[in-house]
Structure 1
């Protein structure tokens, strides 16, 4: 398969890309590095990327940002960071990317445990994650050409434990093998409209 991994040079993306590279033709997209560059917060950039790379069999997005801050410190503009990047960025990847997928292709988005089990400072991030879950379940009812859309929602991964452990007291770090398998399930399985939760 020809697979596009947006965010394929990140903490999770690197491990996921390494796995899929074993038996597939993988293209890495990133904001500043990769085989192709893209800013998912800009729909014109998304369209330009797809025009450059052509048809794919699968799209995986492990990218998008949202502001973390105390609720009373978050401004309206702070919320728009997550809405424009992680939420609408991934929505636009589906909206635009479907036209650059071969029949029966798949799109896999990424969120995280905050949608179901938020911690402090994540009012914006949790809201965005929950919105993506609802979007995936709804768009799966209508998307055409045999395309499947799923989302992987992981807890704090082992490779990010040292950086984020203070934000997630008592949370069990998720082994990277489990995270990779969630993306494999989405890409190689037959599920559609699934929120694939890897929390324990």
Structure 2
């Protein structure tokens, strides 16, 4: 398969790329480097990326940002960071990307445990993750050409434990192998509209 991985240079992305490149042709998209560059917060950038790479069998997105801060410090503009990047960025990847997928292709989005089990300072991020879960369930009912759309939602991964452990007291770090298997299930399985939770 020819697989586009957006965010393939990140903490989770590098591991996912390493797995899939064993048996597939991988294209990495990143904001500043990769086989192609893209800013998912900009729909014209998304369209330009797809025009450069043409058709693929699968799209995986492991990108998107949201502001973390105390609820009383978050401004309206702070919320728009997550709305434009992680939420609408991934929505637009589906909306535009469906036209660059071969029939029966797949799109895999990414969220995280905050949708179901938020911690402090994550009001914006949790809101965006929950919205993506609802979007995936709904769009799966209507997307055409046999295309499947799923989302992988992971807890705090082992490789990010030292950086984020103070935000997630008592949370068990998720082995990267488990996270990889979530993406494998989405890409190689037959599920559609699934929230693939990897929380413990």
Number of residue pairs matched? 200
Q: Are 2:187 and 1:194 equivalent residues in the alignment? A: no
Give ranges in structure 1 of 5+ residues lacking alignment: none
For residues 28-76 of structure 1, give each alpha carbon's deviation from its aligned partner in whole angstroms, at most 9, with x where no partner exists. Answer: 0000010000000000000000000000000000000000000000000
Match of 2:70 in 1: 70
For residues 111-135 of structure 1, give each alpha carbon's deviation from its aligned partner in whole angstroms, at most 9, with x where no partner exists. Answer: 0000000000000000000000000
Q: Are 2:42 and 1:59 equivalent residues in the alignment? A: no
Aligned partners of 2:34 and 2:178: how far apart in 1?
25
Aligned partners of 2:139 and 2:86: how far apart in 1?
17
CA shift for structure 1 position 153: 0.1
Aligned partners of 1:162 and 1:37: how far apart in 2?
29
Question: Residues 3-42 of structure 1 correspond to what in structure 2 (within 5 A)?
Answer: 3-42=3-42
Normalised TM-score (structure 1): 1.00
Aligned partners of 2:20 and 2:33: how far apart in 1?
19
Aligned partners of 1:77 and 1:186: how far apart in 2?
33
CA shift for structure 1 position 176: 0.1
User: Secondary structure at the residue paired with 1:66?
Assistant: coil
For residues 139-187 of structure 1, give each alpha carbon's deviation from its aligned partner in whole angstroms, at most 9, with x where no partner exists. Answer: 0000000000000000000000000000000000000000000000000
Match of 1:136 in 2: 136
Normalised TM-score (structure 2): 1.00
Give ranges in structure 2 of 5+ residues lacking alignment: none
Match of 1:96 in 2: 96
Q: Are 2:145 and 1:108 equivalent residues in the alignment? A: no
Aligned partners of 1:103 and 1:175: how far apart in 2?
33
Q: Are 2:159 and 1:159 equivalent residues in the alignment? A: yes
Match of 1:145 in 2: 145
CA shift for structure 1 position 94: 0.1
Aligned partners of 2:34 and 2:19: how far apart in 1?
17
Match of 2:117 in 1: 117
Match of 2:185 in 1: 185
Aligned partners of 1:146 and 1:20: how far apart in 2?
22
